[in-house]
A and B are shown apart, each in its own frame.
Chain A
Amino acid sequence: MTENPRAEAVRATFAQIPQVAALGIVIEELSEGVARMTMPYDPQLVGDPATGVMHGGAVSTLLDSCSGAAVGCHPQATGQTATIDLRINYIRPAAPGQAITARAHCYHVTRSFAFIRATAHDEDTSLPVAEAVGTFTFNAEPQVEA
């Protein structure tokens, strides 16, 4: 697979994010406007001790990270991205013991805003555990004055 030219910069940035490292999130794929990442199952991230299901907050962080990377990989988005709005539906509990994989698609950008859709799955790919819709901003590259 040919890597998106922006992928290298996104990878370098992600390698320096402490929260991404703390959750053990790894990048699986970066292509034009698309990112895929996996977060391994970790007992530290459990939200319901009775069932061992990971907390929605950890899934939010995975979806937010993956969405930010998808924006970063969009050819018209430049500079650093920041989340303005993230709406998440928790569709079903993730299976305890299984890694969660998120896929985000930045499907449109304007001059300074980017729109994303994302889903998160465990090993059962027939129904996502969560889905997200988000809006991001990015710093436009400095324009040369005419």
Chain B
Amino acid sequence: MWESVIGLEIHVQLNTKSKIFSPASTNFGAPQNTQACAIDLGMPGVLPVLNEEAVIMAIKFGIAVGSEILDNSIFARKNYFYPDLPKGYQISQYEIPIVSGGAMEIIINGKSKIINLTRAHLEEDAGKSIHDLYPNESAIDLNRAGTPLIEIVSEPEMENAEEAVQYLKNIHSLVQYLGISDGNMQEGSFRCDANISLKKKGSTKLGTRAEIKNINSFKYVESAINHEIERQAVILDRGDSVVQETRLYDPSKDETRSMRSKVEANDYRYFPDPDLLPVSISQELIEEIKSNMPELPSAKKTRFINQYGLSEYDTIILVSDRELSEYFENILKDSDLNPKMTANWIITEVLALAKKNYLSVKDYPVSSEDLKYLLSNVANETISSKQAKDVFERMWDNKENPRDIIENEGMKQISDVGELNKIVDNIIKNNYKSVEEYQSGKDKLLGFFVGQVMKETQGQGNPKIINQLLKEKLKK
């Protein structure tokens, strides 16, 4: 009966060296209030000066999503009082943003859909209020105040949480490819607001929307949207109307709750900031940035499929994360390794452990060099893939060196047919019941026999030869 309509506003912290309007550093994690200068503190008399690096990053983003880059975009003041907003206004772009339009393709179940962008604009981040440091007082940390952000606003063109999450993931991947953000969601470098409304099926008239603020993980975005859709559906089903309001998603309770209604909404009294000139952008600058663009996810995807013969499925996984795709290519560099086998290894073994430990590529305990060494030993059949998996786990968990493990422990694959023959014969002899079952058509039991031989060889048997021997001998 209802169709949901979703639009996202994504806030991306740009990884410039200094803040958007001051020379203070933007490093995360410094002691409180040590990275805030007089300008960030909004001291009397200070003035903002625009950081060109932030402008260039915004342009990069605009080029990547096919937007129009507007010359003479304007910074405005968004006025409201809040303790972590030192000047009593946030400098943002309002009427004329730097990036206008653009689009992002998402693929769900093999189907492509284009999500159009409304705009992307530059603005400054606020500081942080800390409420749990002192019993009866709140503390303010202004290190984050003035960190550059681009706010990317989509058209309300997503129909469900899955599409929204995919879109968010694609933007997340893109900003990392562009090198304009570390995209760290835990540290708040990448967060989003979701606008959600329901309309009658088939209707073109949009319903009243609620905005869910500041969601900082893909999982939360999914559950927040699903909950909000359900909440609104219940309201509409009973014939009531949805109230336009801002809501907060509470992950601990897995629910959204009202923050403020439209009536209580701030009148931000936007007006052009007289301290800053319109942002003048020359065509030459745009051309220069264009000619220095890194390879983007879509181009890399096509290349991986063509160059390495990977499946689309595997490619999407590798390419979604720039660092992961680089990890993959570093392994293949100057080696004869099979790309398909390498991709499989990363997707099944590496990502399994990475997910378990919530590690991103730069924090992997196993370098691409070491993994390359390990896989080369599998490829030249020095060790079996079973052995390789064990070695890999030791490398991952204890940061052990694969050379030490393989060479020092004399790890070698048993490929001697004579030796394996004996073992295989023994296994067949001792499991005659299973042999009968196998011969009567239970093909799956082959795995059982392989396992037994492997056990006997302490995992060092060459599985290819073992398979071959077993198949031959069990036929009889």
| A and B pair up | no
A interface residues with partner B (beta carbon < 8 Å): none
Q: Which residues of B contact A (CB under 8 A)?
A: none
